[in-house]
Every structure is written in C-alpha cells, then in structure tokens.
Structure 1
C-alpha cells in the first residue's frame, strides 16, 4: 500500500471525506478486466464492503443486498454486462467498471476501456491467463493506458501465486512486478518497499515487523521491484546511486512508482482474497491505495479525438467542468419498467438535469443503428449501483453517470451543447461474424418483433441486424453463441417477444452450364382481347462475374420493337426468381432471335410472360448449375495453432493461400473458403485457438457448388 509504505498507517476503513462534485482530480475511473471466473465481480463486492458502501453481512446502507448489486450478471452467468459501482476512499471517488469476462461481449469490454482512465487486470491464482486477457493487455498498451494486476483467489486449494506471477510477467512483459508477497493462505501481505507485514490472520488488519525468515524470502523480489522503479524514474542519477550501493529513500521510490504507474510505464502486482467476510479482506486496503495514489485522474488521461459534426478537429479541449459539454454514451440498457437508461462518461463540461443537449453519432448504419443528429432533454441524473440509481445534482467532467429516458441516444453517441454540437470519434467495434437466422414464434410476436429488435440493437453496437432479401430470412449477426443466447433471452424477458432459431440459408446463385435454345409461347383466347406472344431465345453462359447480357437479333419485325424490352423484362424477372432452386440466375447472355405477335392480342404483359416461359424452357433443356459464394478469409492466431487452423480450413473445402508472420508470436493465415463452410467459424475458431484467434471475411466470388451438395439444395427446394 503506497500510503502505508509512506507512513505505516492502518486500513482503509470507511469512505472518509466526500469528494468534490466538480473536481476531476478527485475522480478515478478504473475498468476491471479479466476472464470469466477470475473474480472481478467478487472483487468489486469486497471493495464496496471495504469502503462502507455495503455492510460486511452483504447489505447496502439503504437495505439493498449484495446480490442486488450483481443480479443482472447472476442471471446472465454473472458476466455479460458492463456495470458501474462507485466507491469513495480518502476523498477520491472511484468508478469501478466491471466488464464481462467472455470474448462474446468484447463490445462491453471496449466500452469499459473507453470510459476508464486506468485498467485493473484481474488474474486468478488458480486458473492463470487466457487469450482474451492477453489481447486486451495489448489494446491497453497500444494507447498507453495505465495498468495494474491483482492476483485473486490466493486462498484457493489450487492457488499458486508464484506461478501466476510468472505467467503475468511472461504475458505482460518485464515492467510487471509485485508490490506485496502473500503470506500463507490469505494470512497477510509482505510489503516489499516498506518491509512490513500487514497481518490479516486475526480478522483485523495489523501492521508489524516481519520475522527474519520472511525478510530473507522477499529479498530477491524486492530487488527486482526497486530496479524496475528506478528504470522508469525521471531521475537519471538514481540508477548509478543504486548500483553504487546507496540505499534509496523509500519515499523517493514511492514517488517514482506513482508517477510510473500513472503514465503507464510500470505495472504493479497485488494479491487479494476477495471473498467478503466479517472483517477486512486481504488486499483491499492496498488495492484502494494503488487506485487513488497510483492511477491517474481524468485530468492526466488524454482526451479522445473530438471533432465538429463535419469532421474538423477541435483542439484545446480538456477535462474542464467549465468547458463545452462533451459526453459519450458508453452503455445503453432497456428496462421494461424504467425505460431506456444511458450510462454516460463526461469528458468536458458539466451535465445537469433538464438541460437540452445535442445527440450525434454514430456511423454504424450498416448494423441497423441509425445516425443521430437531434436535440434531446436530459432527464434525472443518477449514480448507478446495480439496480439502485442514486440521484446526482450534476455530473462534471471526468465523472460517470446514468441518464434515464434519453429516447434517441444509443451506445457510442455523443452528447454536447445544442448550440455547438461536437462529436467524439467512435471507438473501434468488433465485427460480428456469427449469423443466426430467427423468426417470430407466433403472429403476436411477429407484430411486436420490429420494435423489440430496434430497442435491442440500440443497446448493443456489436449486434448487426440483416433482413436478407434474397433468402427472406431475418439474420442476427452476433459475436458468438453466448452472445446470441443473451440477445434472444433479452428479447423474451425485456421485450416480451419470443423468437426461435431456424437453419441459416446461404444466398446461392444459379447459372447455365451450356447453350440452349427455347421458345416461350403465351397464347390464350378467353373472349375479347386474349394474350398472344411467342419468342425464341438462345441462352449461353458467361464468365463468372460478367452479369447479364440481352441481345436483340430480331429482323423483319416478327416481334414489334415496342415488345422487345418486354421480353427482356420478363427474362430478368424470371432470373430473380430462379429456374432451379429459387436463387437468382447470373452470368448469362440471352439472345432474342425470333418470335410472333398478333395485331390485337399482343401486349407488354403477354411478351413478359413469354420471356419468363422461354427462360424456364431453356433451363429444362440444359440443367442449371448452382453457385456458392466464396469468401476471402484472414485468420490471425498464435503460432502454436497455425497447423490446426490450416488443417481445419482445408477440411472446409478451403484453399490456403499462404501465411504471414505477425509481431507477438502470431501468424496471419489467408485462405479462400466457401460461405457454406464458415457459418459457425466464429465458434469453432475460438474453441480451436483457446480464445486467441480472430478472423475477418470478405466476399470474393461465386463458384460451382459440388454436385452432391447441389443435389441436397435441389431436394430441399423441392420439398419446400
């Protein structure tokens, strides 16, 4: 603990003095990152108890229980939503952003990173580090976000602190070093800088002198820590003095440590047993001091890029409560009773209830999210804690609040002054790559489905909605299977709409395998004006990607000039409907070379029908081919999984084009793979690469579908 190392003080106790509501330097925004089961939510509960927000027995000061704090996460496997829990320690307000631990919900993870000024990586001493945690560490490193690591579950029977520490140093680099060493199974912490023992074994936190055996066991790690701090020090003489044998003053080391942590150059490791008990929980006091003393305030963290609505940069903006209003919606939820709730991070200015703001954003129209450029009145502001919404008089720059009933604002939108609207550059959202076809379970569900989907999409920018006109299916593009299950569950529980999954249809194409001549004869006499149109056409295939050509070779006026476009229109209409399995026909040339007309009974519609009949007749003479879409797929995986990935792609009828080495021990595998074979690749790749693999896909071309698969498609079409 930094303050303890300075003054040998006691535990953190209760909240202490209240932070100023309009001072960004009294705020810390900390995002908790780690895989599911690492203990993030339990750690937040322990910090709430440590600061007096909830009682040790699990009851909040207003009567709310601990389980009320994380009820949403409990119902959704405890870890599928971004939640905020504010605590106060020594006059500093800490907004704890608890993020999901599943790769499917990386959108909420990135929202948490956007709203935070520092990241706390939670690693289980019993389970180690997964691929997602490594990837997020790299994302934080790319933007120089300050980070610390807390190793939890020290009391677990399989816990191995030294092994977990080594795994962190291997995964995160040399700038990772412990500040404390755990003693026993959550019995105490040995401070490496203070060389003091913080004893928790009696149920209270007591500080005392460690025994000679403990001092000897910490010597090596203490040296590593001091060298790491000195390497990051701005005092270049410090290393020379240390190597010369001079004892560096502890206060100097702590000052340099705090500066190095705040600028993201050094990453301290702490140990914790986060299960709440009747007394102080080991590591909570030390963790609070790291967050308040080591992590930067919003004043020290760089602002995101801010522009005018027409894209011009706005320089000079800072985290100033008196500045122009710039805030961003980082999370949107819909409650059937409360309505829409927007979680907002204020970067500049001050947000107040009942003020009118401009809502702008957000460039995700391709995912079903409309762009916004409207004014809205802000409702009541509150500080969220689970289901509780505690009123706030204002939310100043650097702080986070919840706003109720913003009707138009969605996740990623910017709130700014209505007279001078601004736009925060959107953070990168992952591309959803798992298609899930759904349909309403009943007529009543179908009537409500459109509005329910609109609300659900507004909550989740990683969800893409696609009404496929070709396959006539409603497709939800999700991040993975767990994401899809949560989306369907929200539709049912929050929106009251039941939908069911149906087999996904891939948009195939049809073409001709050879030349064919055919006649379209539409002759009907029913009294009065009848129908009379006869056309002779020749159909021949064209190279892939050529499209459609219509050639007029009529001579002698056997088909009047005004009806030639009618034949083409009829052919095109039949091409859209298909001639084999209901898929569009592509890459053919149709030549109209003969026909007959009647002076009275011929008409535009008669020749359209004749053109349709002629194309169907040609298809009966030369069986059409089915074409399947082929995608260009790029897979990024750790080197150890390259062989498995390449073998798997080949088993999917893919053609591996080559590999490229990528920094960090990764390889980029490029291949061409039929879409039919990769509809569930998002799930399979994650399993195959233990969560470390990512991929992208882009349509390349159409190719003939193998005969045995084409036969199945034809049989299914006939059955339907």
Structure 2
C-alpha cells in the first residue's frame, strides 16, 4: 500500500459503472482553504488516466464541477464528485470546500463517503491548519471513519515535512501520537535560485525504495547513502506503530526478539489498521510538472485508497426507520436489498433543471423507477422553511458526473453515487426508498446558521420571483435558513458566515435571475410600563347622521416578565354596557400589538377598565375599540415606557488558549458569563447571557478572534430591560 514498486494503469477518459460494492471506494477530501484539495483531485485524475492533462477533460472543461461563483472567487464553495478508476476499483473522490462557511457541504461529503483524506498544506501557518481540520477530524473519529493525511506544498513549505508530521500527530493523534506516522519520506532536488528545493520523489519506509518522479514517470531506486540514517529511524517508528495496532499479539515479541518481519506481513497489518480507523498514515503529494504524466505521490495515494480504505460493505449504514419512527434491523450494503438512498447535494442547471447527487446505501436505483421521497424537516422554531414532507416521484436519467459532463449510466448500485435528474420533490437530506416499503434514514447534523441578514427585492420584477427563488436556495442548501420575522416584518436569510451569504446572493442573481438588497437586520424589541399609569380614551364624533360615542377610563400597572397582557373589567353601575367591554379589550390589545412608543409590541401589563360612558344611539363596537386604544396611548404619554431587548443564552466552545479573550469580548457585548466547564481535551465551554443586539455578527467575530477554532450556539432566553442610553437611541430612530 503506497510502497508498491509496480505501476497501476487507469482507464483513460472513462468512468466505469461499478458492478459491486467491493469494487467501490468513496473518499471525502477535507482540508483548510488553499490546502490544495482540488489540485490534488485533478492530479489523481490525471495519474488514473481519466484526463490527459491536469484538471481538464476532453472538452476542455474542468475536472471538478465548478459553478460561476467558484470561478469568480477562485475558491470551492460546493461539494464536487470526481470518479476515477484505479487497480480495478472505482474511486469516488468527493472534493469539499475548505472555508469554514461551507461546513454544510463538507458534512454532506462526509455522509456520502466511507473514508476521509485530510489535506494539509506545509505552506500554511499551524493555526490555519488546525482551525477547520481538527474539528472535522473529531467528527470523523466520532463515527469511526478511517482517515489518512496528505501533506501538500512541500516545494514552498513554511514547515518541513518532519515538523508537519509532528504537527499532525499533535492535532490528530491526541490519544495516540504513534497512530499518526508517515509512510514515506520526501526526496528533494537541488535548491533553486528562489531558495526552494523541488520535490522529486518519495522514499518508502517499508519497502526501503526511492520512487523517483523527476523524469515524469515513477521509477524505483535504492536509497542513497545519506538517506540511510533518517530512513532507518523513521522506519523503526513506523513498524512499531503498525505492530501496536496489529491484531497479531505475537508480532511485538517477535520484533523485539530481533526477528525481521517480512514486507507482506507489515503491509497487510497496516492496511487492516487503516481500514479499521485505528492508524492514520501521513503521505506527501505534489501535482505533475509540466509535461509529466503523474504527480508525485499520486500513485501512492491511489494505492492507499484502493488497498487501505474500506469498501462500502465495511462501512456501517446510518440508522433506518419507518416513516412513523419504528426502528428497523440494521441494513447492509446489498445491491439486492431494499432501496435506501439519500440526496447529499442539490444543484440547478439552466437546461436540466434540478440535479440531485444521490448516495445509494442499499438496493439499486435505476432510471424511470418510481420512488418514495421523505424529508425529515426541521422542527426547531423558525424553521418553517423546511417542513417534513413526503411524495412519490419518478427518477429521471442517472449520470456519473465528470466535470461539466454527464455520462449516462444504467443503474447505481449500493455503495455508489450518481446524479439524478428532475427529482423535483426531493431536497438535500431526503431519503429515497421503494414506494411499497417507505423508509427514512437518520439525518446528518447540519451547522446552525447564526449570521442574520435581512433582504428585500431590488425591484417589482425581482419581488415576483423572490419567494420561489429563496425556497429553491434553501432546498439546495439546508445550512441556510429563511425566516419571515413576524415581529419586524423582515425577510431574514440566516447564513453560516459572510462568504456563505455572498455565495447565496450570487446564486440568486446568476442562477435564478433575482437581485436583492440587504438592509440592516432589526431585532424584535418589546415595550412595557415602568410604573402604574392611568388613561382616558374619548372618541366622540358627530358629523350628521349616525355618530360615534365612547369613553373609557383605564388603569395600567406593570406585571412580571413573561406575563403578557391581562385585561380586567371593574366597571360598576353599567357605565360601559356589557356588550362593549370586549370591544374595549380588543382595542387595548390591538394598540399594544402596534406599540406605544416606537412601534414595538407592548407586553407584561395589567389593564383595568374602571369607568366610562356610552350613548344609547351613537355607541358601537368600533367606537369603544378606538376609545380603548386612545386610553392606552394616553396612559403611556404620562408614564415611563421601558424598552425590553431579547437576551440569548450563548454557549461558546473554544480551545483553552482563547478563554480569556472570548470572555473579555462577551463582557464588551454587555454579556454576563454564567459559567465555564471543561469539554474534552483542551476545550472549554463558556456560557453567557448576551443581548441579541450585540451578537448579530458574532459568527464572524468569533471566527476571527479564535482563528476559526471557536464554535457557538444561541437560543432565546428572555426579554430584559434595555439600558436607558440605548433606549433613548431607539426612540430617536423609531419613534
């Protein structure tokens, strides 16, 4: 595995349909932004013979399925599938965005894969490497997903390879650093004028052979004399790491007794440990030089994937239930089993319409099948944009995507991925199953969008298409949330971060032809009385014909938080006829909903109707409603009205090094820290109550403060009195 001296050949220009799960490998590439994931995918495709030059298919389009937004930003923002063939296996390479805003795409890729390849750049600072990748590593570890690491950009490295392997051991091998070890040592050519030495090959630690790529091919050579000492030390540590993970308990005694273990025994044990997810090899790679046929380390990587990573048969399936929640026995990855598939990505094509990237977990999906579509929906408050839904729909054409090409296939078997056309009722995360036996897969965890931005249509023409286009956007990307705020009336798009928002606005414009403007996001404030007050409402009009006559007197007193509005009738002697008592209450409540100081709803008061006057002819329901509203406004004019702002309970998970700065920052946001606790190795959970006015952009600010390592969640706690200075500012703006 990765140390083999023989050469594989791929299938030039073709992407075969897989015949059985044992011939499949599904690998998600994970790494920080600019780590070189997409370049590596293109280099692997070239080495496998799928393309003749880096990153290009026969029609000149790119290997990865980039949209216009990605070309403009020169950054991947979506999950992309590149299938290649190597060693008799079909390898589905799932390229994911490295920027933290697009963690939803990354988690979708992890769901579709059976193993993960972490790409780290030696040209980046250690904090950059750690920010995104460590959290994802822990997520993969939690589900037992096999992982390997590949180091890129060694030609322009800030950090030498040996230091990078130590860093990887610290980041990813917290429990067992000896489970994160290199399989090869890089070989460099003469130093160039710019001070950088080109990477020319790799030395296999197990085979003790140098694989030289300097002439564009891969040639096996014996190591030079000056390579012997570092090779021996690194080889000994690797062998000890392999033996420590071996199921053969006699190996350690034999090794310590001086026995020379044969290459096949070590390689077989290494492959089993990688497939179990207990050993994580570190490799190095670089794209092919101009005119070269293979990138450095790409053969070794492809061998690792085919020999060391598990097949879909070895990867446990997510839990499956009936639509009503009844559990079922665990399913296997069987092409003849019941159909269970999942939409892991939804995209739009101006000609083909909706395109769904589907992972089949059990059974076989074929064109023209009629399937049952079931979506979990999101039951959290404010997630009316993604309700639970069910439908029957007909499967359109099945294709294997390769760049912008769609290559038709006859079927997609268990363990494979395919793009399905026109699954009109299916959204990302939905389960596809047989109509006779509907099933539902346990959903994967999506990031909570925590950056709110209010949007409105740029023109009347945009307004006509806005709701439909936003619904499509949310169906495509469940990491995005759409809210029609009932208190402020604003249409709010909740995103993971600023880049996520920018891409959403670009897609609205480029793919859906809708232009929107962003406006300041308004937080839902409340108003209440600070003390008791009284008011007289007098509505008397006589202008010929039937007049209007209603007078009511009320007392208002504040109530504890959360009490709402209580209306009490204490009229004596029938001064307000019984049939008009409800009219007064209706007018008071309507005025309270409109607000009395700055247009925010009035809450937590008791209104007592104590007296009034009526006219036998001119009094009416409408007149007493108006009088009730006028009485409440007059009471407010003579009283101090207090503004209440929403307060969120914020939970911030951060490395211990950032506890001080984060707590100081929360205090500067008028937050009150309510507690801290240790949460795993080197992490602290900080709890605080923070006014929502202060955390609109906290998703962006926390990422900057903690170099991408901090995460937080927020939930509504209560409304609390706003400081007088801020309240005066609100009155000036909204009053």
Return the TM-score normalized by structure 2.
Answer: 0.95
- Alignment partner, residue 192 of structure 2: none
How far apart are 1:18 and its partner, in Å?
Answer: 8.1
Distance 1:137 1:612 in 2: 60
- Alignment partner, residue 35 of structure 2: 38
Residue of 630, 636, 643 corresponding to 1:619: 636
2:272 counterpart SS class: helix
Q: Say whether the 8 Å CA contact 1:10–1:207 is kept in structure 2.
A: no
How far apart are 1:11 and its partner, in Å?
Answer: 5.2
- Alignment partner, residue 78 of structure 2: 81
How far apart are 1:363 and its partner, in Å?
Answer: 2.1
Of the structure 1 ranges 66-75 and 635-644, higher mean CA displacement relative to structure 2 is found in 66-75
1:100 counterpart SS class: coil
Of the structure 1 ranges 360-369 and 690-699, higher mean CA displacement relative to structure 2 is found in 360-369
Q: Say whether the 8 Å CA contact 2:61–2:404 is kept in structure 1.
A: no
- Alignment partner, residue 267 of structure 1: 280
- Alignment partner, residue 495 of structure 1: 512
Cα–Cα, structure 1 residues 544 and 275, in superposed 2: closer, same or farther, change >3 Å?
Answer: farther
Distance 1:76 1:341 in 2: 23
Gaps of 5+ in 2: 189-197
2:314 counterpart SS class: coil
How far apart are 1:23 and its partner, in Å?
Answer: 0.4
Say whether residues 1:646 and 2:663 are aligned partners. yes
Of the structure 1 ranges 83-92 and 654-663, higher mean CA displacement relative to structure 2 is found in 654-663
Residue of 229, 235, 249 corresponding to 1:216: 229
1:608-627 CA deviation, whole Å, 9 max, x = no partner?
Answer: 11000000010111131111
How far apart are 1:15 and its partner, in Å?
Answer: 5.8
Q: Say whether the 8 Å CA contact 2:567–2:607 is kept in structure 1.
A: yes
Say whether residues 1:200 and 2:216 are aligned partners. no
How far apart are 1:556 and its partner, in Å?
Answer: 0.5
Q: Say whether the 8 Å CA contact 1:149–1:268 is kept in structure 2.
A: yes
1:299 counterpart SS class: helix
Say whether residues 1:103 and 2:100 are aligned partners. yes
Matches within 5 A, 1:300-339: 300-339=314-353
How far apart are 1:56 and its partner, in Å?
Answer: 2.2
Of the structure 1 ranges 337-346 and 212-221, higher mean CA displacement relative to structure 2 is found in 212-221
1:580-632 CA deviation, whole Å, 9 max, x = no partner?
Answer: 00000001010000000111111111111100000001011113111111111
Matches within 5 A, 1:291-690: 291-364=305-378, 366-367=382-383, 368-690=385-707
Distance 2:241 2:592 in 1: 70
2:734 counterpart SS class: helix
How far apart are 1:711 and its partner, in Å?
Answer: 1.4
Cα–Cα, structure 1 residues 361 and 572, in superposed 2: closer, same or farther, change >3 Å?
Answer: same
1:528-579 CA deviation, whole Å, 9 max, x = no partner?
Answer: 2211110000011112122211111101000011111110110000000000
2:266 counterpart SS class: helix
Cα–Cα, structure 1 residues 59 and 550, in superposed 2: closer, same or farther, change >3 Å?
Answer: closer
Q: Say whether the 8 Å CA contact 2:94–2:109 is kept in structure 1.
A: yes
Q: Say whether the 8 Å CA contact 2:15–2:50 is kept in structure 1.
A: no
1:388-426 CA deviation, whole Å, 9 max, x = no partner?
Answer: 111111100000000111111000000000110100110
Distance 2:428 2:201 in 1: 43
Say whether residues 1:187 and 2:200 are aligned partners. yes
- Alignment partner, residue 46 of structure 2: 49
Distance 1:556 1:71 in 2: 76
Distance 1:521 1:486 in 2: 55
Say whether residues 1:235 and 2:248 are aligned partners. yes
Cα–Cα, structure 1 residues 429 and 16, in superposed 2: closer, same or farther, change >3 Å?
Answer: closer
Say whether residues 1:91 and 2:91 are aligned partners. no
How far apart are 1:66 and its partner, in Å?
Answer: 3.2
Matches within 5 A, 1:245-260: 245-260=258-273
Q: Say whether the 8 Å CA contact 1:16–1:89 is kept in structure 2.
A: no
2:26 counterpart SS class: strand
Of the structure 1 ranges 290-299 and 205-214, higher mean CA displacement relative to structure 2 is found in 205-214
C-alpha RMSD over aligned residues:
1.5
- Alignment partner, residue 158 of structure 2: 158
- Alignment partner, residue 119 of structure 2: 122
How far apart are 1:14 and its partner, in Å?
Answer: 4.8
How far apart are 1:71 and its partner, in Å?
Answer: 5.1
1:671 counterpart SS class: strand
- Alignment partner, residue 191 of structure 2: none
Distance 2:185 2:435 in 1: 53
How far apart are 1:159 and its partner, in Å?
Answer: 5.0
Residue of 143, 156, 176 corresponding to 2:180: 176
1:172-199 CA deviation, whole Å, 9 max, x = no partner?
Answer: 1111111101011311100000000101
Cα–Cα, structure 1 residues 203 and 549, in superposed 2: closer, same or farther, change >3 Å?
Answer: same
- Alignment partner, residue 139 of structure 2: 139
Cα–Cα, structure 1 residues 20 and 101, in superposed 2: closer, same or farther, change >3 Å?
Answer: closer
1:329-378 CA deviation, whole Å, 9 max, x = no partner?
Answer: 00001223321100000000000001100000122254312322110000
Distance 1:535 1:692 in 2: 60
2:513 counterpart SS class: coil
- Alignment partner, residue 194 of structure 2: none
Distance 2:15 2:674 in 1: 61
Distance 2:468 2:238 in 1: 56
Return the TM-score normalized by structure 1.
Answer: 0.97
How far apart are 1:76 and its partner, in Å?
Answer: 4.2
How far apart are 1:70 and its partner, in Å?
Answer: 3.8
1:218 counterpart SS class: helix
Distance 1:588 1:640 in 2: 46
Q: Say whether the 8 Å CA contact 1:19–1:91 is kept in structure 2.
A: no
2:696 counterpart SS class: coil
1:150-181 CA deviation, whole Å, 9 max, x = no partner?
Answer: 00112125352112111101101111111101
Distance 1:476 1:263 in 2: 41
Cα–Cα, structure 1 residues 246 and 620, in superposed 2: closer, same or farther, change >3 Å?
Answer: same
How far apart are 1:275 and its partner, in Å?
Answer: 5.0
Distance 1:197 1:291 in 2: 21
1:198 counterpart SS class: strand
Structure 1: which 4+ aligned runs deviate by more than 4 Å?
Answer: 11-20
- Alignment partner, residue 193 of structure 2: none
Distance 1:614 1:295 in 2: 75
1:76-100 CA deviation, whole Å, 9 max, x = no partner?
Answer: 4322100000000011000000001
How far apart are 1:276 and its partner, in Å?
Answer: 5.5
Q: Say whether the 8 Å CA contact 2:255–2:261 is kept in structure 1.
A: yes
Distance 1:524 1:493 in 2: 57
Q: Say whether the 8 Å CA contact 1:636–1:695 is kept in structure 2.
A: yes
Distance 1:83 1:249 in 2: 40
